[in-house]
């Protein structure tokens, strides 16, 4: 049975960005609801360990935070976005503290801050090594206190968007969701705006710190509705993940003084000259490349990992600040971090790119917003600094919530969509790309509920096809092909030939997807159906990553390209966009904005 609900603001996702957006929209007076596939406190923000950056102390400033972030981004972030992040983070973190967030504290009672990679000041505020967990619970309490409606176990599978030929003329009127408990389709009309806060897409890789639920649903839905995905080739590989599972060992360990060494007992970050000033606390792309170079040149352990050692920090300090790390190392690797070094290797962790937005969270489609990891505003550019994602959630989640509720935030400086100084890519791909079976068009009637109902019909048709198909291919098979192709060929070190292979593999996975069938015909908790739909989302997202990686012939931040071993500011100070036009993706560029309140001159990036 189809249900239709109506609210002013619909927030898709109950993680850090979604909760903060909902609180803001509600406080601005909008009737707000959260629609989420997981219960909010099970969102992946709960996995965040190390901390949240904000310039809170004497000696630190928003200007320093902005400068570090721009340098970390390898000069591919937009200055207006970085400046909003750095300026708003202190007030927003203090607000979290006032909500009751249990930050770790110094003897005299002030909140503690630790050093993190790429920061010129110890500005990472934290709650033990469970910062994200506490953040989620703290904000969820505020959602409950305010009586904001939460529809949890609702899987949003389609946006209800009008179908004008130019995406910048389209309007988003709501979303369609599967009620996971009962299997029915629900329509959610949003009379003011839909905010996508659906989080990461790390499941495009098989060795990742991201949970199985991180399937890029928001990115894929926005992309199919006509919103460009920006800078998708920039994928962060975290240097310290446990080899057997991809579980993260927080940068907080190195922030507290943990050291990395190779099989020859060398503290290689210094001794092999990778980062002679900052050593283990160089930015993540630098440390990940260093580790893999050590392993590839035969100085790793078992040809697979290096060691991260925190024993010298002492039991008391470890238990006070890093207790969670002891549990992770013990539970997932059988190692006692108090008495043994921990094996670590790089693993996929974060995607810097995402749904293109401006500083208010607006996409190029009227009424559609995005915030958090699914979005690209862009503050991280070619490489995110540790501790900068959590402030992004609350700063830009809040702004999106306010704007969607009708609060005037002034004129944005970032222009979204195919407008302004657009340059088309003049290259070609060896493989055919794009949808084998594009989504049906959306109805354009101008009436919100009609658009939502048309989207429900289109979604019902897609689901019926998946459920009615008898025999064929199982979705885990398609997902495995995709994950292997991405892990093997679109990793820390990238070569054109490997990227072309990845594109071919994705194409064949897409074709196989045409024959995917769902074995479970039940309506209740049909995770088989949900995962089949998530797999299509992963395919769409992965393809944009590879397309961007092929087009960008330079080495910038996390994007290392064989044969192009230098950052090329003359040619490449520009963002990559992939948009789905007329059923096939196209690739184009817009210039990076290095002028905000300050001007950021690209300099050599060394640590």
Q: How far is the CB of 59 from ligand FAD (least distance, A)?
A: 22
Identify the CA nearest to 199 among candidates 33, 392, 27, 415: 392
Q: Is 545 among the residues that bind ligand FAD (CB under 6 A)?
A: no
Q: Is 239 among the residues that bind ligand FAD (CB under 6 A)?
A: no
263 to 276, 343, 477: CA distances (angstroms): 20, 11, 37
Nearer to ligand FAD, 523 or 564 (CB): 523
Nearer to ligand FAD, 233 or 373 (CB): 373
Query: Given the structure tokens 């630790």, which residue do they identify?
Result: 114
Q: How far is the CB of 249 from ligand FAD (least distance, A)?
A: 9
Show the tokens assigned to 580. 């789905």
* Gyration radius of the chain's alpha carbons: 23
Site stretch for ligand FAD (CB under 6 A), options 226-234, 265-273, 369-377, 573-581:
369-377
Whether the CB-CB separation of 538 and 201 falls below 8 Å is answered with yes
Nearer to ligand FAD, 266 or 320 (CB): 320
Site stretch for ligand FAD (CB under 6 A), options 25-33, 191-199, 352-360, 419-427:
191-199
Q: Is 42 a catalytic residue?
A: no
Q: Is 283 among the residues that bind ligand FAD (CB under 6 A)?
A: no
Q: How far is the CB of 487 from ligand FAD (least distance, A)?
A: 16
Give the DSSP letter of residue 495.
Answer: -
Nearer to ligand FAD, 503 or 538 (CB): 538
Site stretch for ligand FAD (CB under 6 A), options 14-22, 102-110, 413-421, 457-465:
14-22
Q: Is 37 among the residues that bind ligand FAD (CB under 6 A)?
A: yes
Per-residue mark of binding to ligand FAD, 155-184 (x: CB under 6 A): xx----------------------------
SS3 for 475?
helix
Whether the CB-CB separation of 579 and 418 falls below 8 Å is answered with yes
Q: How far is the CB of 315 from ligand FAD (least distance, A)?
A: 23
Q: What angle do CA 534, 539, 542 make, to 5 degrees?
A: 120
Whether the CB-CB separation of 269 and 594 falls below 8 Å is answered with no
Distance of CA 193 to the CA centre of its chain: 21
The residues, ordered by sequence, that sit 6+ positions from 342 with a Cβ below 8 Å of its Cβ are 240, 242, 249, 307, 308, 309, 310, 325, 329, 333, 335
Quick one: which of 21, 33, 45, 96 contacts ligand FAD (CB under 6 A)? 45
Site stretch for ligand FAD (CB under 6 A), options 37-45, 180-188, 362-370, 571-579:
37-45
178 to 71, 158, 351: CA distances (angstroms): 43, 10, 26
Helices (H), 228-368: 252-255, 268-271, 284-296, 315-321, 323-333
Q: Which of residues 377-416 bind ligand FAD (CB under 6 A)?
A: 387-390, 393
**CA-to-CA distance for 145 and 148, rounded, in angstroms?**
8
Quick one: which of 16, 128, 167, 346 contacts ligand FAD (CB under 6 A)? 16
**CA-to-CA distance for 273 and 344, rounded, in angstroms?**
20
Please report, to the nearest 10 degrees, the dihedral formed by the alpha carbons of residues 53, 55, 56, 58 taken in order. 140
**CA-to-CA distance for 8 and 108, rounded, in angstroms?**
45
Q: Which of residues 200-219 bind ligand FAD (CB under 6 A)?
A: 200, 209-210, 217
Q: Is 68 among the residues that bind ligand FAD (CB under 6 A)?
A: no
Nearer to ligand FAD, 245 or 508 (CB): 245
Nearer to ligand FAD, 318 or 385 (CB): 385
Q: Is 600 among the residues that bind ligand FAD (CB under 6 A)?
A: no
Whether the CB-CB separation of 176 and 455 falls below 8 Å is answered with yes
Q: How far is the CB of 239 from ligand FAD (least distance, A)?
A: 13
Longest dimension (CA), the chain: 69
Q: Is 36 among the residues that bind ligand FAD (CB under 6 A)?
A: yes
Q: Which of residues 127-156 bind ligand FAD (CB under 6 A)?
A: 131-132, 155-156
Per-residue mark of binding to ligand FAD, 324-363 (x: CB under 6 A): -------------------------xx-------------
Q: Reduce the secondary structure of 133-168 to three states and give it as a string.
A: HHHHHHHHHHHHHHCCEEEECEEEEEEEECCCCCHH
The residues, ordered by sequence, that sit 6+ positions from 45 with a Cβ below 8 Å of its Cβ are 15, 16, 17, 132, 135, 136, 199, 390, 393
Total residues interacting with ligand FAD, rule: CB under 6 A: 43
- Catalytic choice (158, 224, 284, 605): 284
Nearer to ligand FAD, 37 or 474 (CB): 37
Site for ligand FAD, rule CB under 6 A: 12-18, 35-38, 40, 43-45, 47-52, 131-132, 155-156, 197-200, 209-210, 217, 248, 349-350, 372-374, 387-390, 393
Give the residue numbers annotated as catalytic, written as ranges. Answer: 284
């Amino acid at each position: 049975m189809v249900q239709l609900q109506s609210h002013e603001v619909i927030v898709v996702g109950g993680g850090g960005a979604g909760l903060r957006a909902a609180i803001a929209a509600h406080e601005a007076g909008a009737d707000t609801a959260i629609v989420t596939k997981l219960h909010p406190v099970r969102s992946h923000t709960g996995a965040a360990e190390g901390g949240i950056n904000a310039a809170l102390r004497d000696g630190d400033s928003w200007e320093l935070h902005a400068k570090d972030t721009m340098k970390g981004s390898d000069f591919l972030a937009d200055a207006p976005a970085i400046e909003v992040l750095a300026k708003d983070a202190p007030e927003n973190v203090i607000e979290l503290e006032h909500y009751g967030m249990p930050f770790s504290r110094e003897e005299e009672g002030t909140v503690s801050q630790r050093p993190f990679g790429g920061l010129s000041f110890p500005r990472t505020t934290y709650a033990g090594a469970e910062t994200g967990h506490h953040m989620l619970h703290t904000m969820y309490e505020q959602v409950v206190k305010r009586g904001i409606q939460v529809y949890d176990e609702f899987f949003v599978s389609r946006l209800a968007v009008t179908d004008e030929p130019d995406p910048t003329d389209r309007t988003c009127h709501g979303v369609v969701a599967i009620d996971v408990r009962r299997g029915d389709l629900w329509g959610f009309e949003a009379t003011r705006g839909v905010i996508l806060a659906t989080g990461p897409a790390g499941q495009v890789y098989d060795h990742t710190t991201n949970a199985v639920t991180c399937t890029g649903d928001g990115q894929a839905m926005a992309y199919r509705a006509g919103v460009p995905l920006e800078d998708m080739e920039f994928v962060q590989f975290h240097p310290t993940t446990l080899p057997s599972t991809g579980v993260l060992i927080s940068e907080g360990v190195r922030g507290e003084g943990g050291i990395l060494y190779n099989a020859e007992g060398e503290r290689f970050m210094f001794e092999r000259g990778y980062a002679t000033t900052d050593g283990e606390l160089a930015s993540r792309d630098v440390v990940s490349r260093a580790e893999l170079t050590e392993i590839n040149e035969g100085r790793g352990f078992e040809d697979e990992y290096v060691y991260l050692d925190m024993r010298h920090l002492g039991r008391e300090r470890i238990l006070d600040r890093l207790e969670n790390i002891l549990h992770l190392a013990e539970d997932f690797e059988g190692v006692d971090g108090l008495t043994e070094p921990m094996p670590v290797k790089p693993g996929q962790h974060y995607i810097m790119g995402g749904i293109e937005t401006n500083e208010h969270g607006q996409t190029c489609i009227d009424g559609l917003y995005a915030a958090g990891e699914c979005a690209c505003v862009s503050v991280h550019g070619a490489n995110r600094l540790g501790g900068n994602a959590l402030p992004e959630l609350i700063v830009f989640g809040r702004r999106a919530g306010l704007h969607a509720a009708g609060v005037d935030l002034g004129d944005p400086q970032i222009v979204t969509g195919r407008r302004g100084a657009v340059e088309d890519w003049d290259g070609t791909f060896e493989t055919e790309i794009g949808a084998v079976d594009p989504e049906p068009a959306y109805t354009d009637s101008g009436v919100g509920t009609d658009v939502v109902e048309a989207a429900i019909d289109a979604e019902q048709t897609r689901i019926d096809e998946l459920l009615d198909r008898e025999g064929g291919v199982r979705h885990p098979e398609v997902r495995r092909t995709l994950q292997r192709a991405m892990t093997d060929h679109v990793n820390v070190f990238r070569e054109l030939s490997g990227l072309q292979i990845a594109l071919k593999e994705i194409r064949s996975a897409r074709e196989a997807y045409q024959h995917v069938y769902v074995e479970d015909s039940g309506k209740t908790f049909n995770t088989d159906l949900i995962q089949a739909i998530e797999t299509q989302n992963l395919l769409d997202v992965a393809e944009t990553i590879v397309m961007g990686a092929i087009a960008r012939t330079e080495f910038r931040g996390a994007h290392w390209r064989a044969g192009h071993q230098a950052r090329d500011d003359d040619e490449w100070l520009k963002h990559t966009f992939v948009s789905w036009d007329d059923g096939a993706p196209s690739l184009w560029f817009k210039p990076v904005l290095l002028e905000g309140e300050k001007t950021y001159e690209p300099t050599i990036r060394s640590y």
